[in-house]
Each structure stands twice: as structure tokens, then as C-alpha cells.
Amino acid sequence: MYKRILAVAGFAFIGGALREMLELWWPFSTNWFGTTICINIVGAFLLAMINFWVANRFALPSQIILGLGTGMIGAFTTFSSFSLEIVTLLNAGQIMGPIIYVLLSIGGGVLAAWGGQRLADRLLGDRMDGDDNA
Amino acid sequence: MIMLNWISVALAGSGAAIGATGRYLVMQIAQLISHWRLQHSGRVPSRFPWPTFLINVSGSFMLGWVMSSGLNTGIKVLVGAGVLGGFTTFSTMANEIVLLAHDQRLKLAVWYGLLSLICGVLAAVVGVKLS
């Protein structure tokens, strides 16, 4: 159990630090709100690839998969900033901004996760006969 | 300035380690509870991803509160960007939505996404107002 917690915490440091670096380079403002959106979309894709491709393709210890997925990517992406940035845009009196923000985040995030899961299936399909309908 | 940025990065990383550990523990406890309920009362666990939902909504509330508070910048980075940023997660939610849709639970998938959005934003508003 403690090994799994250490893996989550250690990899989460990387994910959280990376997110903060990107947020410092391209800070959120009412004129630019793309950073968190991009982080969340990229993270949704990477989590799918880690859980569905890396986990099945490489013989890695389960703690490492947990660390990479739940730890690193879980901490890299964030829902709390997503909520607060929408509120900030709404408080600034914007209407289109928050709508675009929500559509890009959820639409992009779901598409990225779907694409990642599909791509993982494809990549594994060459090795294992399609388990999709099994 | 560059020094200050690296301190922020280290603070956010350290906070995220704490927040993500908290998220992992909440998920583990939720799993134990649903196993226990299945064994003792035969209740089939709901497919609605309650753990992620509750983590994200409560984290949104706390971030609204922290960022509108008079706390100093270092604490805001450590707790806001770090702990709460690491506690909440967007990638898990996106993947859960896709898995629900994949399992022919399209309605539940849509409800999950909509409720997360609405409750997350409302929670952040309440956090900001209470601060």
C-alpha cells in the first residue's frame, strides 16, 4: 500500500510542477484562457494511452502505471481551475468566453479520451485479436 | 523573478503530491465501501462515478475559497495550484464519460458531464462568495 501511495505522490509532483510551469508561461487572463484547456485535453488523451495502451503493452509494475496515470496525469489535469476560470470569466461579464471555454474543455477532453482509447485498441489490435466485442 | 518561478513550481509540485494522494485514498475508500455494501446488502454499486464527482466539486469549492482569500501568494500556489489542483482531476472524468458511453450508458455519461460542470461551477461561486 505504501509503495502505491509513494508512486502516486512522486509522479503527482511531476504532473503538478509541469502544470504550474505551463500556467506561469501562459498565465490565465480574461483575454487568454487556453492554458488549462490544453492541459486538460492533452491529459485526457495521455491518461487513456497510459491506462489502455502502456498498461497492456509493457510489462511495468502496477505501481508505475498507477503513478503515471492517477498520479502524474491526474495531478497534471485539474478540475478546480476549470471551474474557477469559468467563474472568473462570468464575473468579468463575458458570455461567449465561458461558453467557448466549456465547449472546448469538455468536447475536447472527451474527444481526446475517446481518441486515446481507440488508438490504444488499434495499437493493441495488431498484437491481440480484437477484444472489443469479446 | 526566475527564482520565484521555480519556487512556485516546487510548491505546486509538492502540493500536488499531497492532493493526488488524497484523491487516491478517497478512491480506495469508495471502492471498499461499495464492496462492503455489495457483500452485506447485495446493493450493486451505481455506475455514476461518485468518487471523482465529489472530489471535483469539493475541490472547486475549496479553490474558489482559497483564491479569493487574503492568504499570501505562496500559500495560494501551494494549496490552490498544488493541493487542490492535484486533488481534482479532469482527465479521469473525461475517460469515465467515454467508458460510460462505450458501455451503452449514454444518458448517464451526459448527466455525469453536465452535473460535474454545473455543480463544479456553483461550488466555486459559493467558495468565492464565502471567502
Summary mean pLDDT of chain A? 94
Probe site for chain A from B5, B91, B97 (most A CB atoms < 10 A)? B91
Q: Is A74 annotated as a binding residue?
A: yes
Which is more confidently placed, A6 or A131? A6
**Inter-axis angle of helices B91-102 and B50-67, nearest 10:** 150
Distance CA A49, CA B78 (A): 29
Q: Is residue A60 a contact partner of residue B121, using CB atoms and an 8 Å limit?
A: no
Q: Taking residues B27-44, report their average pLDDT.
A: 92
Q: What ranges do the domains of chain B cover?
A: 2-130
Query: Does the CB of A99 have a partner CB in chain B at under 8 Å?
Result: no
Q: Is residue B123 a contact partner of residue B54, using CB atoms and an 8 Å limit?
A: no
C-alpha cell at A51: 491506462
Q: Which is nearest to A117 in space by CA: B105, B56, B46, B101?
A: B101
Side-chain-side CA neighbours of residue B124 (13 Å): 25
Summary mean pLDDT of chain B? 95
pLDDT tens-digit series, residues A33-76? 999 999 999 999 999 999 999 999 999 999 999 999 999 999 99
Distance CA B95, CA B89 (A): 11
Q: Do A40 and B90 touch (CB under 8 A)?
A: yes
Q: What ranges do the domains of chain A cover?
A: 2-125
Distance CA A116, CA A122 (A): 10
Distance CA B60, CA B117 (A): 10
User: Residue A97: is its pLDDT beyond 60?
Assistant: yes
Query: Does the CB of B13 have a partner CB in chain A at under 8 Å?
Result: yes
Q: Is residue B65 a contact partner of residue B128, using CB atoms and an 8 Å limit?
A: yes
Probe site for chain A from B26, B90, B108 (most A CB atoms < 10 A)? B90
Using 50, 70 and 90 to split pLDDT, how confident is the model at A126? Answer: low
The residues in B 40-59 lying below 8 A from A, measured between CB atoms, are 55-56, 59
Distance CA A128, CA A107 (A): 30
Whole-prediction pTM: 0.93
Measured in Å, how far apart are chain B's first and last C-alpha atoms? 29
pLDDT of residue A130: 47
Q: Is residue B64 a contact partner of residue A84, using CB atoms and an 8 Å limit?
A: yes
pLDDT > 90 fraction of chain A, expressed in percent and rounded: 92
The residues in B 14-33 lying below 8 A from A, measured between CB atoms, are 14-21, 23-25, 27
pLDDT tens-digit series, residues B96-119? 999 999 999 999 999 999 999 999
